[in-house]
A and B are shown apart, each in its own frame.
Chain A
Amino acid sequence: MSDFTSSFWPMFITVIAVGGILGCGLLLWLTSTIKVESSDGDNTSGHVWDENIREMNNPLPRWWVGMFIITIVFALAYLFLYPGAGSFAGKFGWTSANQYDDEVATANKALEPLYAKYAAMTTEELAKNADAKIIGERLFLNNCAQCHGSDAKGNLGFPNLTDSDWLHGGSPEKIQETIVNGRVGMMPPIAAAVGTADDVKNVANYVLSLSGSMHDAGRVAAGKEKFAVCAACHGAEGKGNPDVGAPNLTDNIWLHGAGEAAIIKRVNEGKVNQMPAWGSKFTPEQIKVLTAYVWGFSNK
């Protein structure tokens, strides 16, 4: 409990909570009897208001008072066992966070036999297993779909997982590595190394020609010369390099936008793109199922 920097507020809360409960008990005791002015049996307290409104003495049943006492005892026991009295954590040490952890642990334990079965299966088998696919879909929709889309086809800046174009390799091992550790894709701003703005435009048109996209054929030859700078990562033929996450430029798949303008922008400005690491979020068994599910998108 470090919600408050001063110890005044926890004390304040304790006094109100405990004092309130004890106050209820005191009130119950103090009001247990009432004075009546006469004993002639008219069953009123003798007070008369507004000429004829009398306060009747209709007693509460005693068992009802018993219930009041039970609630007071319950409240005190509760404050002793559970957090409620200021910074006192309670004898049970209960918090909503550890209740959640307990529930997750219970759920995981219930799933253990199922995952044990999956542990013995290969990725190929898992990708075809109907139950594993349902689990994989749940994991994907709850954790991955926010960026990659519910249909896993990605969006601008977020790779499509259903084609066979993989920035960092599409083998089950590589996919698992990507999920567990995340990835950082880094294209440096390289315009200076390429040369003038015109050179950059030439390179862009050469790159477009690699995938047969619309380009200015007159600039291709000049661009090809300057492409040597890019080849260090993207390879001499522009087919990319999964080891450094350099995309294949020949397959007409454009993660950050198609067309001359988009390519020139990337050459001028570079791009850093990140996939977060999910290793701590999932259990190893879940990662295996999720890997198989993702692998299955492009390996039907």
Chain B
Amino acid sequence: MSEKPVDKTAVKVSEKAIPLEDVKVSLYKAQAKIYPKNVTGIFTSWRWVMVWVTQIFFYGVPWLDWGGRQALLFDLEGKRFYIFNLVFYPQDLIYLTLILIISALALFLFTAVAGRLWCGFTCPQTVYTEIFLWIEAKIEGDRPARMKLDASPMSAKKLFIKFKKHLIWIIFSLFTGFTFVGYFSPIRELAGSYLSFNLGPWETFWVFFYGFATYGNAGFMREQVCKYMCPYARFQSAMFDDDTLIVTYDTLRGEPRGGRSRKATQEEHKLGACVECSLCVQVCPTGIDIRNGLQYECIQCGACADVCDTVMDKMGYEKGLIKFSTQNALANRWTQSQVMQHIKRPRVLIYTAILGALVIGLLASLWIRTPFRVNVVRDGVMGRMTNDGKIENVYRLQIMNGTELTQHYQLKVNGLKDVEIEAEAAEEQSGSDTHMKSIEVKPTESRWVIVDLKVPDGSLKSGSHKIEFEVFSQEDKDTVQEKSVFLVPRN
């Protein structure tokens, strides 16, 4: 871009006026507090629906019971993770990985279709800020009242109002922290010890840490988290294309902006639809002006669209000066149905296909998952000769019962002819008509079982032979196979 002569003189003039070394600006900015104005409308209603849905889930689920225990409990100390009727071991980490990948892909998909939906409607940062702002507005009043209060000198009345707000914020935060810990420590017992100031050291730490994070992030940090700390905010912006639904200001319709008398006709004032009421700026929780176009600060909450629609209504103009639309739609003046058609584009379809495949994969693998696991550890020595002329190998089997019932397991070995199995823990099962010996493992426990395998001497060549342990659970009728080797020493 070549500079115009006019610009050059302008620079020269300013250089003369202010010597270069005098124009120093701080790279570190003190933050101006943002006072979002209350707003009502379709997007605001949707946000409140999402606040209720997510928060009823978050605060409610730990109180659900499932067969005599908490339905959702992550027992970190016992290393067991209870999710409704499933019990997971740390070995099931793959499921967590899958869930995280699915979440990431869902974020990609929603972002490609409709921008930062997550940010504007379901992100905890937005949801808690919304709740805290609601409390703030109830106590301190709307935007002008809050600005006036903050600007006024400290007085007993101001102190009381601030005290009331922070007290309610802190109570709410501590309850949030308590609920969070309730996912990891049985919540009913936790409630008792919480109220009697009898929490364990880690429980105390996490209740207060999570509570403090809620209080700090929703009460003070607010949009700063989205602007400076959140990585998702930035990479979501990178996933937009020109067909992504975003909050847009219709420049063609709006400009030139300006105030006008409601009686004046278009011919008289010669202005666009924007009446420059600045309400869109006042309601913005990140303090930007959407009329400057797409900006990285925009969390797409739609507050500006809501407030602009009310103004357009009052003026008797068509709604939608600020609306969810796409860059292409604005440029080409597309209709709503044309915008919708462009949602079906390769990128969205590919995301949907991968996401669908992963969800089906996850469900299928949960469906066929055996509720127990087996590890085989062979004793690190050669096979030995017994007094009755047999070759014997020793194994340790770890059987992990992932159910909440006592289970009995039967043992079989594949790959060895005439093998004799001796498991010290195997017992004749009482009340069983099969007369099979079985290994009992208590609910959600794991047990080490020592197993001796014997084959007649001479029936196998010396060296290593591949074998397979087959463990069958009598109650669940499930089978797990685990590979190992049988070693025969040289004579």
Binding site for B on A (CB under 8 A): 31-40, 48, 51-52, 57, 59-65, 141, 145-146, 149-151, 153-156, 252-253, 258
Which residues of B have CB within 8 Å of A51?
1
Known: A37-B15, A38-B15. A146 touches B380 (CB 8 A): yes
Instruction: Say how far B3's CB is from chain A's closest CB, in angstroms.
Output: 9
Residues of chain B in range 227-257 having any CB-CB distance to chain A below 8 Å: 227-228
Q: How far is the CA of A32 from the CA of B30 in the complex (A)?
A: 13
Judging by beta carbons under 8 Å apart, are A153 and B25 in contact?
Answer: no
Known: A52-B1, A258-B385. A145 touches B24 (CB 8 A): no
B437 within 8 Å of A (CB atoms)? no
A and B contact pairs by CB, cutoff 8 A, 25 listed: A33-B27, A35-B21, A36-B25, A37-B15, A37-B23, A38-B11, A38-B15, A39-B14, A39-B18, A39-B23, A48-B1, A59-B25, A61-B224, A61-B227, A61-B228, A141-B448, A145-B379, A146-B380, A150-B394, A151-B424, A153-B384, A153-B452, A155-B382, A155-B384, A253-B387
Judging by beta carbons under 8 Å apart, are A61 and B31 in contact?
Answer: yes
Instruction: Say how far B116's CB is from chain A's closest CB, in angstroms.
Output: 20
B57 within 8 Å of A (CB atoms)? no
B155 within 8 Å of A (CB atoms)? no
Q: How far is the CA of A153 from the CA of B391 in the complex (A)?
A: 13
Interface size on B, residues (CB 8 A): 35
Which residues of B have CB within 8 Å of A153?
384, 392, 394, 452
Judging by beta carbons under 8 Å apart, are A33 and B26 in contact?
Answer: yes
Which residues of B have CB within 8 Å of A155?
381-382, 384
Tell me the dominant secondary structure on chain B's binding face: mixed
Residues of chain B in range 25-44 having any CB-CB distance to chain A below 8 Å: 25-31
Which residues of A have CB within 8 Å of B424?
151
Instruction: Say how far B471's CB is from chain A's closest CB, in angstroms.
Output: 17
Q: How far is the CA of A15 from the CA of B26 in the complex (A)?
A: 31
Q: A141-B448, A151-B394 are known contacts; what are 17 more A-B pairs with Cβ within 8 Å?
A: A33-B24, A33-B27, A36-B25, A37-B15, A38-B14, A38-B23, A39-B18, A60-B28, A60-B29, A61-B29, A61-B227, A63-B31, A65-B28, A151-B452, A252-B387, A253-B387, A258-B385
Residues of chain B in range 1-18 having any CB-CB distance to chain A below 8 Å: 1, 10-11, 14-15, 18
Judging by beta carbons under 8 Å apart, are B450 and A150 in contact?
Answer: yes
B20 within 8 Å of A (CB atoms)? yes
Total inter-chain residue pairs, C-beta < 8 Å: 92
Closest to B30 in A: A62
B143 within 8 Å of A (CB atoms)? no
Q: How far is the CA of A154 from the CA of B424 in the complex (A)?
A: 15
Q: How far is the CA of A151 from the CA of B14 in the complex (A)?
A: 90
Judging by beta carbons under 8 Å apart, are B29 and A34 in contact?
Answer: no
Tell me the dominant secondary structure on chain A's binding face: loop
Q: How far is the CA of A150 from the CA of B422 in the complex (A)?
A: 13
Closest to A145 in B: B379
Judging by beta carbons under 8 Å apart, are A59 and B385 in contact?
Answer: no
B390 within 8 Å of A (CB atoms)? no
Judging by beta carbons under 8 Å apart, are A59 and B24 in contact?
Answer: no
Instruction: Say how far B230's CB is from chain A's closest CB, in angstroms.
Output: 13
Judging by beta carbons under 8 Å apart, are B385 and A149 in contact?
Answer: no
Instruction: Say how far B422's CB is from chain A's closest CB, in angstroms.
Output: 8
Judging by beta carbons under 8 Å apart, are A59 and B29 in contact?
Answer: yes
Known: A38-B11, A62-B31. A150 touches B1 (CB 8 A): no
Which residues of B have CB within 8 Å of A156?
382, 384-385
Known: A39-B14, A52-B1. A57 touches B30 (CB 8 A): no
Judging by beta carbons under 8 Å apart, are B11 and A34 in contact?
Answer: no
Which residues of B have CB within 8 Å of A252?
387
Judging by beta carbons under 8 Å apart, are B450 and A32 in contact?
Answer: no
Closest to A146 in B: B380
Q: How far is the CA of A261 from the CA of B18 in the complex (A)?
A: 106
Judging by beta carbons under 8 Å apart, are A34 and B27 in contact?
Answer: yes
B166 within 8 Å of A (CB atoms)? no
Q: How far is the CA of A80 from the CA of B94 in the complex (A)?
A: 41
B146 within 8 Å of A (CB atoms)? no
Our pick among B15, B23, B26, B379 for the contact of A150 (Cβ within 8 Å) is B379
B396 within 8 Å of A (CB atoms)? yes
Which residues of A have CB within 8 Å of B448?
141
Instruction: Say how far B394's CB is from chain A's closest CB, in angstroms.
Output: 5
Our pick among A33, A141, A154 for the contact of B25 (Cβ within 8 Å) is A33
Per-position binary interface string of chain B over residues 371-408, scored 1 when its CB falls under 8 Å from any chain A CB and 0 otherwise: 00000000111101101000010111000000000000
Known: A39-B18, A146-B380, A155-B384. A59 touches B394 (CB 8 A): no
Which residues of B have CB within 8 Å of A31?
27
Q: How far is the CA of A44 from the CA of B380 in the complex (A)?
A: 69
Judging by beta carbons under 8 Å apart, are A40 and B10 in contact?
Answer: yes
Known: A37-B20, A38-B11, A141-B448. A149 touches B379 (CB 8 A): yes
Known: A37-B11, A59-B28, A252-B387. A64 touches B228 (CB 8 A): yes
Q: How far is the CA of A153 from the CA of B392 in the complex (A)?
A: 10
Q: How far is the CA of A104 from the CA of B385 in the complex (A)?
A: 40
Closest to B12 in A: A38
Judging by beta carbons under 8 Å apart, are B27 and A32 in contact?
Answer: yes
